[in-house]
Structure 1
Amino acid sequence: MVEPTRRDFLFIATGAAGAVAVGAIVWPLIDQMNPDASTLAAANTEVDLSNIAEGQIVTVKWRGKPVFVRHRTQKEIDAARAVPMSELRDPATDESRAQKPEWLVVIGICTHLGCVPLGHQGQYDGWFCPCHGSVYDTAARIRQGPAPYNLALPPYKFLSDSKVSIG
């Protein structure tokens, strides 16, 4: 075994000091890319569902985007579940789009060119985008028009029977 020399110790100590110095310089550059507190506060939106009547659509803001919260009637749920997957351009079951059948939470931005669709409109009483004619059903699935995909689903969870957290 070769005995370590003073030179070996100096190389290791210099390398360790250099690594600490690089970390001390790089960390503030990386840390400044994190969002500030006001942005993090807007990352989640809580919605009180007790004020939304059956059949009503409420629009809330989440991360600067409109989010539609729809309290669906049994008739709307049944109509959405009766659609054969073969009729859908972007196939998705109603069950996969709504955590609770009576509540549908979707991002309110048309997947064609980013317009905001109007609720309770169109042939399927879902949403209609007046800019280019995209029509969505009561499960926010694309049924007609140029939009290629269903309205997107934001991450959300039910905090209770009367409160949902989006984000």
Structure 2
Amino acid sequence: MAITHTADDPNQRPPVIGEAKEGGAGPRRRDFLNIAAVSFAGIGAVAVVIPLVNQMNPSADVLALAAIEVDISAIASGQAIKTIWRKQPIFIRNLTPKEIAEADAVPVSSLRDPATLAQRTKEGHKNWLITLGVCTHLGCVPLGAGEGETKGEFGGYFCPCHGSQYDTAARIRKGPAPKNLQVPDYSFKSPTVVQIG
């Protein structure tokens, strides 16, 4: 039985499916398997990493408290209220003109943690002092925001745990606390509504 070839070379065998031609420009089956395996491994890695990263996101209850709005219209001059933001107490105080004058009269250079009242309040709202109600010494909640609570020697806040005393601008004046009460990020949404966070 005679085999006839149409190619120039009578000894050349016919090409096998999936085999690269001589000179090697075409894909081989092995290349396809390698690409498929790497792609499968990449998809598997992404499938493992996404849940790990997602579990680090804040929970729904934390996101719900990321920002709160507080109506301050009922807080009279000289009064303060306590509220909760991110599971921490917040003091919102409506300073009297006398308390503002006392805070402004203190030489900033004499303070342990130097800051003016203007730096701790928003422009145009100098009478509204908003701070975290957490002592910067060991995290106790100071007194002074509630009706009839001890305000200390400087008329601001008094920490009953170790005796730290803050002035009317919530700046540390006496005791072991190293820093002033922290001012959270906040903004006025209207003259009577404050958004904290």
TM-score, with structure 1 as normaliser: 0.92
**Of the two, which has the highest radius of gyration?**
2
Letter in 2 for 1:106: T
Matched residue pairs, number? 167
In structure 2, the partner of 1:128 is: 158
Distance 1:21 1:80, change over 3 A: same
Work out the CA distance in 1 between the residues paired with 2:72 and 2:26: 71
In structure 2, the partner of 1:104 is: 129
Which of the residues 135, 147, 152 maps onto 2:177? 147
In structure 1, the partner of 2:58 is: 35
Work out the CA distance in 2 between the residues paired with 1:140 and 1:4: 76
Cα distance per residue 1:132-160 (max 9 Å; x no partner):
11110111100011111100111111111
Worse-superposed segment, 31-40 or 110-119: 31-40
User: Identical aligned pairs, as a percentage?
Assistant: 55
Q: How many angstroms does 1:32 deviate by?
A: 2.2
Work out the CA distance in 2 between the residues paired with 1:151 and 1:23: 44
Letter in 2 for 1:65: Q
Matches within 5 A, 1:1-167: 3=25, 5-6=27-28, 7-99=30-122, 100-119=125-144, 121-167=151-197
TM-score, with structure 2 as normaliser: 0.78
More strand by share: 1
More helix by share: 1
Work out the CA distance in 2 between the residues paired with 1:36 and 1:134: 34
SS at match of 1:25: helix
Worse-superposed segment, 50-59 or 31-40: 31-40
Worse-superposed segment, 28-37 or 17-26: 28-37
SS at match of 1:10: helix
Which of the pair has the greater relative contact order for Cα pairs under 8 Å at 6+ separation? 1
Work out the CA distance in 1 between the residues paired with 2:34 and 2:105: 73
Distance 1:4 1:98, change over 3 A: farther
Distance 1:8 1:122, change over 3 A: same
Distance 1:11 1:60, change over 3 A: same
Cα distance per residue 1:20-46 (max 9 Å; x no partner):
211012212221222232221122221
Q: How many angstroms does 1:10 deviate by?
A: 3.4
Q: How many angstroms does 1:117 deviate by?
A: 0.8
SS at match of 1:139: coil
SS at match of 1:158: strand
Cα distance per residue 1:75-98 (max 9 Å; x no partner):
111211221111100111211111
Worse-superposed segment, 2-11 or 104-113: 2-11
Letter in 1 for 2:109: S
